[in-house]
Amino acid sequence: MKPFCPIPSKDGLPYIIAHRGLSVKFPENTLISFEKAANVLGVDMIELDVRLTKDGEVVVIHDHTLQRTTTGNGFVRNYLLREIKQLDAGSWFHPSFSDQRIPTLEEVLRLVGHKVWIDIELKSDFFCRKRNGILERKVLDIVQKCSMNNRVLFSSFDHDMLINIKKMQPEARVGILYNFPFDFGKTPSELAKKVDACVFVCSKREITYEMVRDAHKSSIAVYVYTLNSISSVKRVMEYGVDGIMSDNADEILNVIRQEKITFVKN
């Protein structure tokens, strides 16, 4: 697969990014959700979230607690990997997915990394921070082990983590997530410069035409989450965004193809 390029070619379409896999149809952040997304022709990238277990293993889960998406309870950081692996991560979605488990980052990269690019969002706990750089180092080591260095984007709301990533691996591609309470009033180009990011990421409620124009003036790509409706996709495409994150990436992709919307570059 070709190396990750932050800004798509001028074919009229933004990248289609499967947010936690095909998470409308399958339990989020599970192997089946990622595999199904990777097998959809036209899906360019998969977005996932990573945290550390008690024994320092990198697992793929969004929340800092287990109860929403597994049969477990409490903080992810308080469980060993072998304990995490005993939890059912699919029945909350539907009983037919009771065999799904919380995957490790390495498991996901080995399963779908040869088919699509991966956006690895590094999570941090505000009130219980890990020793500086530990998650970043472990994630970089796994990406290196799986030979995925040129096919990964590292992103985070915690901008210090992105600074650490760039210090540890200067050639890494990073995407800065717009953190409204802290970043309000700052332009995408200002924020991106702070961490040497090539991608600016924000929500559909935050995106403006001015943001996109500012980012593009500095050759920074703009990705938007989480777009699950036809109207929201049309609106952000008119702004000229470079990537669309969706829980139902396959259906959004079909909408874009059928509507033949012109992707306006600024």
User: Residue 95 CB: number of other CB atoms within 10 A?
Assistant: 9
Catalytic annotation, residues: 19, 62
Q: What's the token pair of residue 46?
A: 């998969």
Given a contact cutoff of 8 angstroms between Cβ atoms, the answer to whether 62 and 123 are in contact is yes
